[in-house]
Amino acid sequence: MTATPVIQVEHLRKSYGSTLAVEDVSLTVHRGEIVGILGPNGAGKTTTVECLAGLRDRDSGHVDVLGLDPARDRAALREVLGMQLQESELPARITAREAAELYASFYADPADPLELLDDLGLADRRDAQFRALSGGQKQRLSIALALVGNPQVAVLDELTTGLDPQARRDTWDVVRKVRDRGVTILLVTHLMEEAERLCDRIVLIDAGRVVATGTPAELAAQSAGEHVLRFRSPEPGVAAVLAGVPGVHGFDGPDDGLAYEVRGGPEVVQDVMVALSAAGVRANDVRLERGTLEDAFLTLTGQDKPRDAATGRRSRSLLTRTEA
């Protein structure tokens, strides 16, 4: 990654009449990253990227994409940024080849449209009409149209929504290939697995505000609290050993005379296993349970809390909020 950000957004705000869609969003994307914009439905994700791409005018805030202001430099921005929209349709009878060649004609220095279709796994579907393409093939074509202008940045909005599991995984492979072509990617999604599999970093948005940023592992760690170690042992003296391990916060067991649950910090596995080994105690069926990105999502967006009757928003702990 380079020191100079490819995308810099500071305190973005956008409303539609009395509806505040984006209240305060700041984010940074560096060259070569896949950065995910994650959040519940209606959080302001799509509005954020549409302002960033110059498709909507922001009310306030600063947006810089490769040194361009989307509100002022729309024509120049179209030459360096490609966007796959959340909802897009083509004429039913247009072929994949015709669509790619048409879009290529819009740019001064486009990619080879047929080569791009081949790279995205559509070589044998070049002459198929849009209506005859499967959901996954339509998504690949949509990505091809976003890339045919040879952009430096690609914005992909909910690209796998509605796809079956195999088509989703095939599309993820396409996204990785896009990054391998040297394209920086901003990926909008509400799917936890998609964010974990693809993103170098995540910007978590809720109710029009950034509530956390970090790698998937870093966000998961924020909600992890304690690590939970489970194991089984038929031998006596386990409880006495666990009581003497400094990294153990607490434990339960033996349940049914064999099963133990131990709570502690990140080093709980190493601490406990070393202590048990030193005491000559065998542990079987060892499992570690940690916080997941889904746990972080629910905690940081307050999805696990009731909505406030007056505001319609869920309460959130200030301890979990991180500025972008």
- At 166-215, the pLDDT tens digits run 888 888 888 898 898 889 999 998 888 899 999 999 999 999 999 999 99
Domain boundary among 219, 246, 270: 219
Query: Both 93 and 118 in a single domain?
Result: yes
Judging by DSSP bridges, how do beta strands 184-189 and 153-157 pair with one another? Answer: parallel
Higher pLDDT, 317 or 198: 198
Model confidence, pTM: 0.73
CA distance 96 to 145: 10
Percent share of the chain, pLDDT over 70: 89
Segment 72-110, tens digit of pLDDT: 999 999 999 999 887 778 999 999 999 999 999 999 889
Q: Which structural domain, as residue segments, surrounds residue 244?
A: 225-299
For residue 293, the domain's CATH number is 3.30.70.120
Residue 224: pLDDT band with limits 50, 70, 90: low
List the CATH number of the domain containing 159. 3.40.50.300
Q: What is the pLDDT of residue 223?
A: 63
Confidence of residue 303 (pLDDT cuts 50, 70, 90): low
pLDDT band of 306, cuts 50, 70, 90: very low
Strand order in the sheet with 227-232: 248-255, 259-264, 227-232, 284-289
Is residue 33 assigned to a domain? yes
> Is residue 315 in a domain?
no
Q: What share of the chain is helix, strand, coil (3-state, %, to 5)?
A: 35, 30, 40
3-state secondary structure of 245: coil
Residue 19 has pLDDT above 60, yes or no: yes
Q: 52 versus 318: which is more confidently predicted?
A: 52
| Same-domain check for residues 31 and 74 | yes
**97 & 179 share domain:** yes
Mark whether 213 and 230 lie in a shared domain: no
254 domain residue, yes or no: yes
Give the chain's domain count.
Answer: 2
Q: Are 156 and 185 in contact (CB under 8 A)?
A: yes
Please, what is the average pLDDT of the chain? 86
Does 187 lie in the same domain as 95? Answer: yes
pLDDT one-digit tens code per residue, 31-72: 999 999 999 888 999 999 999 999 999 999 999 999 999 999
Q: What secondary structure does DSSP assign to 81-117, as a single string?
A: EEEE-SS----TT-BHHHHHHHHHTTSSS---HHHHH
Q: Which of 192, 219, 246 is where one domain is finished?
A: 219
In our burial notation (b when 16+ CB lie closer than 10 A, e otherwise), range 67-77 reads ebebeebeebb
Mean pLDDT across 296-306: 67
What percent of the chain lies above the pLDDT cut of 90?
A: 57
83 and 214 co-located in one domain: yes
Mean pLDDT value across residues 245-255: 84
